[in-house]
Amino acid sequence: MPDVKRVGVMTGGGDAPGLNAVIRAVVKSAAGFGYECIGFEDSFDGLIDPSRSRTLTRDDVAGIVRIGGTILGTTNRGDPFSYPGQDGAEVRDRSTRCVQTVREFGLKGLVVIGGDGTLTIAERFHRLGMPIVGVPKTIDNDIVGTNSCFGFDTAVAFATEAIDRLHTTAASHRRVMVVEVMGRYAGWIALYAGLAGGADAILIPEIPFNLERVAACVRERERFGARFSIVVVAEGAAPIGGTVSVVEQAQAGRLERLGGVGSWVAEQLEGLTGKESRSVVLGHLQRGGAPTAFDRVLATRFGGKAMELVNHGTFGMMVANRPPELVAVPLAEMVGKTKQVPLDLDLVKTARAIGISFGD
């Protein structure tokens, strides 16, 4: 065992703007508490193969608060409990190797920054005795137990700007513009960006839609002189009685890939309204680039709080934003759950009150 106090940090799952701000806060506050920080690269792969790890100093994290992505290699979604072998070799359980790595490095704690998939794996490791602290990350804002996650604000800001830009071109051509945003199981991005961007209809996974209703909204706008409409649709939204649009079926360790609902909605609306309708998919543009100031601050607070928990020896917990405070909630409380938009949320009520259609 080393006589130096050590903490580990890793990122997993899809990227979200703010990952580097968390890493920076962990490294800097670890130094303040007298810890050395080890960064594990490529998600849990860095625990399976410790040669993919390195000491992170304050110098290593200087200037990264504003940079998207992660400095820790890739954020792949591999699960060490059922780890796919190379070139079709059979799936193996590599979790024991991960536990061993944490012991060999003599880590007092391991900060795992990730979304629901990564944090579910982290919770399994905690049950195996690993000293884990989770930091929630997702642009979808669908992690249970925390009011918000870094990445979401950046995604909403980008989608809002895109909707703003589409307004002027939609008006110039008197078109219906359909904007497909991310949001696999939850419509938070669509709801917030739709409201901020002044959308006329917002279609989310929580509310199955009937396109006749959306077409009626477009026609109603025509009647009072608005000759264009903006529809925001979450990738996971589906028509009443229909299914979500899948681009690629789920594979081992990978969820199904969604996409295509935007172009389908545009095509249907063109048929129903007779108005030229176009679609735009914002896709990964919502995940790339620099985090907003809000996300940099939230991510920094999450990193600092995670390190505080490690130093106190409080493990099996996830840091969570419960304004005005950050708190620790058991990882077990978020496993297997998704925070969807509640249908009685004030934002939904307000959207309806100002005439936004949810297609229901």
The 219-258 contact track toward ligand F6P, x by CB under 6 A, reads ----------------x---------------------xx
Here's the x/- map for ligand F6P, 251-290, by CB under 6 A: it reads as ------xx----------------------------x---
User: Which is nearer to ligand F6P, 101 or 138 (by Cβ)?
Assistant: 138
- Judged by CB, which is closer to ligand F6P: 51, or 243? 243
Q: Which of 12, 14, 187, 359 binds ligand F6P (CB under 6 A)?
A: 14
Q: State the number of CA atoms in the 13 A half-sphere of 292 facing the CB.
A: 19
User: Which span sits near ligand F6P by CB under 6 A: 58-66, 182-190, 207-215, 294-302?
Assistant: 182-190
Q: According to the binding rule CB under 6 A, does residue 206 interact with ligand F6P?
A: no
State the minimum distance, in angstroms, from the CB of residue 233 to ligand F6P. Answer: 13
Report, in Å, the least distance between residue 76 CB and ligand F6P.
9
Q: Which stretch binds ligand F6P (CB under 6 A): 24-32, 95-103, 176-184, 237-245?
A: 176-184
Among 132-140, 161-169, 299-307, 319-327, which window interacts with ligand F6P (CB under 6 A)?
132-140
Strands 317-322 and 132-136: parallel
* E strands, the chain, in order: 5-11, 35-40, 53-56, 107-114, 132-136, 176-181, 201-203, 229-234, 246-248, 257-258, 277-281, 317-322, 325-330
Burial 303-323, CB ≥16 within 10 A → b, else e = bbbbbbbbbeeebbbbbbbee
Nearest to 137 by CA among 26, 41, 236, 17: 17
Name the residue whose CB lies closest to ligand F6P. Answer: 182
Q: What residues are annotated to the active site? A: 140
Determine if 184 is a binding residue for ligand F6P (CB under 6 A).
yes
Which amino acid appears at position 36 of this protein?
Answer: E
**Binding segment toward ligand F6P, per CB under 6 A, in 4-12, 179-187, 201-209, 342-350:** 179-187
Kindly provide the b/e burial profile for residues 177-210, where b requires at least 16 CB atoms within 10 angstroms of the residue's own CB.
Answer: bbbbbbbbbbbbbbbbbbbebebbbbbbbbbbbe
Exposure string over 265-287, b if 16+ CB within 10 A, otherwise e? bbebbbebbebebbbbbbeeebb
**Separation of alpha carbons 16 and 139, rounded Å:** 6
Task: For residue 119, state whether it binds ligand F6P (rule: CB under 6 A).
Answer: no
β-pairing, 246-248 with 257-258? antiparallel
Nearest distance from C-beta of residue 116 to ligand F6P, angstroms? 8
Encoded amino acid at 190, one letter:
A
Candidates 75, 95, 138, 292; binder of ligand F6P (CB under 6 A) is 138
In the complex with ligand F6P, the residue whose CB is nearer, 128 or 255, is 255
Tokens of 184: 């696999």
140 touches ligand F6P (CB under 6 A): yes
Residues forming the site for ligand F6P (CB under 6 A): 14, 115, 138-140, 182-184, 235, 257-258, 287
